[in-house]
Every structure is written in C-alpha cells, then in structure tokens.
Amino acid sequence: MKGDAAIAAASAAPPARPARSLTTTRKGRRVVVTGAVVAFAMILGLIGPGVVPYDPVGLRLEARLQPPGAVLPDGRVAWLGTDQLGRDLLAQIVHGARVSILVAASTVAIAGVFGTALGLLAGYYGGLTDTVLMGLVDLQLAFPPLLLAILLAAMIGPSVGNVILTLSVIRWAVFARLARGSVLSVREKEFVEAARALGASNVRIMWRHMLRNILTPIVILSTLQIALQMLAEAALSFLGLGIPHPLPSWGVTISQGREYLQNAWWIATMPGAVMTLVVLAVGMFGDAVRDYLDPRFVS
C-alpha cells in the first residue's frame, strides 16, 4: 500500500524550508565540526580499551603516585601519572570512557524508546490513557532525578546493569512529555486524516505517520540528554552507588583521588578534566544539531 504514504508525504511537506547543507551553511558546519569531536571521543572510548592495556587489579607499588610525564621503572611513560596502586591514569581514563559512553548511550536509548512510545500513546488516544500517563510523567518530573537515582541505586546495589536501569528510569518522562506535545500538534493534520480515511490502523498511523513527523525534537532531546547521563553516572559512581570496583569509571577514579589530593593531585583532576571536555563536546554537538534541525530556534 504505497498510496497513503504518498498522500501523507505530500501533505506533510513543510512550507519551504531554507536549503539545508552540512558543508555550505554555518549551522551545518558546526554540526560537522562538533560531531567530529564527539565521534573522535566515541571511537577512542570504544576502540581505545583494545589498544591501551589496563589491568584493574594489578598492583605495582614501585610505580605508585607518579606525576604526569614520569618514566616508570619498566621504561613506559605515564603521560597523566599513576594512581595509588601504580595503575596508569591514561589507561584508566580510556577504559572509563567506554563505560561512561556505554551507560549514557544505552540509558538514553531505553528511556527514549519507552518515553516516546508512552507519549505517543497518550497524545494519540487522549482521554483516560492521556490523563493517567501524563499524571505519571508529572509525578516523575516532580521527583528530583538524582535523589530518585540515589534511592534506587542504594536499594538494588551497584552493578553496570543496575546503573543502566536506574538512569533509564529517571529520564523516560522527559521524552514522554515531549512526544505527547509533538503528537498533539500533528494529530489534527490533514495527512493523519487522509491516512485514516484510507483505512490505516491506529498502529500504522502512529508508527508510519506520527512517529516520523515528531522524530526531530526527539533526536535533539536525545543528544542533549547524553551529556546529562554521563554526569549522572559519574555522580553515582563517585558516591559508590554506580559502577562497582574493579571496573574503571571516571567517577570512581575521582572519588579515590580525593584521598590523595595533597600529594597526588592528578588522580582526581585528570579524569574530571577529560570528562568535562567530552561532556562539553557532546553538549555543543547537541546544541549544533538543534540549531541545524529546528528552523524556529534562532540563537
């Protein structure tokens, strides 16, 4: 059945948008540049652990608390220094990046899919479904997210799976609210009516016609949420409620470095500095994507 899609495409075509190009417009180029930085960090985090060796439980007392740039007894250079057990900080940061990226991406994906689906249902069906689901959304948004995460994490204990669960639970509501709002704005459009007149089922209308039309704001929100999730994971791990030892995590390394602030400042500061740069890059990428995709937003 190609007919209803064609009608939908024709009536959904937005009124003459400015031509969009990734290379010739300033906004487009910003997406490319910030995207490249993020991609670089991602690749480093995903491939790096295979290249940089790191033994989380290895103890090398002769190499402990070495400052950045120090030459270790085995001849290697510790570019960012070593920690209290003689482990290389650079290796720890690269391995921590993998965990951080994995957790942030998967939680945004889970929260995004669930939240969007529920928002879609609420907006499409309205009535009681809408009232109940949006009541839950309001409730979730009223509960300070990090407090809920701390409570959940404290109850279910630290593990990678539990961190992913916890951080997904605290974010779905944002997606649900956005999806519902977007659905309401397209629900009465002609292309939906046309699809319905052609006999399309509710599921088909939601999946093929609505979801595609509300995807842009969802994508923008997802990019911005990834930075928040990286910060949340690090915060939980810093409190000992996130990624458990001996997995490398930025939050855990920073927390351990607290004890050595006086004589080995690099343990706590290096992972945080790297993390700030990565989160900043992701945030700038999110902003760039928003400016590029959303013509209404003028900065």
Partner 1 sequence: MARYLLRRLLAAGLVVWGVLTIIFLVVRVIPGDPAAVLLGTFATAELVAEQRTKMGLDRPLATQYVLFIRQAILGDWGRSYHEGRPAFTLVIERLPATLELAVAAIVTTTVLSLVLGSLAARRAQSPLDRAIGAASLLGQAIPNFWLGLVFILVFARRLNWLPSFGRETVWHLVLPTATLSVQLIGVMTRLIRAGILETMGQEFVRTARAKGLAEGAVLARHVYRNMLIPVVTMLGLQLGALLGGVVILETVFAWPGLGRLIVTAINNRDYPVVQAAITLAAVIVVLVNLLVDLTYAYLDPRIRYE
From the CB of 288, what's the least distance to partner 1, in Å?
11
From the CB of 173, what's the least distance to partner 1, in Å?
12
Q: Which residues are CB-contacts of 174 (< 8 A; sequence separation ≥ 6)?
A: 111, 115, 141, 221, 225
**Which one, 47 or 277, has the nearer CB to partner 1?**
277
Region of 52 on the Ramachandran plot (φ > 0 left; ψ -120 to 50 alpha; else beta):
beta
Interface contacts to partner 1, rule CB under 8 A: 135, 138-139, 142-148, 150-152, 154-157, 227, 231, 234-235, 238-241, 250-251, 254, 257-258, 261-262, 265, 268-269, 271-272, 275-276, 279-280, 283-284, 287
**Which one, 114 or 265, has the nearer CB to partner 1?**
265
**Which one, 56 or 144, has the nearer CB to partner 1?**
144
Task: Produce one character per residue of 173-202: b if its CB has 16 or more CB atoms within 10 Å, e if not.
Answer: bbbbbbbbebbbebeebebbebbeeeebee
From the CB of 109, what's the least distance to partner 1, in Å?
22
CA distance 9 to 7: 5
**Which one, 154 or 211, has the nearer CB to partner 1?**
154
**Which one, 169 or 195, has the nearer CB to partner 1?**
169
From the CB of 136, what's the least distance to partner 1, in Å?
8
CA distance 263 to 192: 66
From the CB of 197, what's the least distance to partner 1, in Å?
34
List the alpha helices (DSSP H) in the chain: 3-12, 26-51, 89-125, 127-142, 145-156, 160-169, 172-187, 190-197, 202-204, 211-238, 250-257, 266-293
Backbone angles phi, psi at 67, to 5 degrees: -70, 165
From the CB of 200, what's the least distance to partner 1, in Å?
35
**Which one, 12 or 150, has the nearer CB to partner 1?**
150
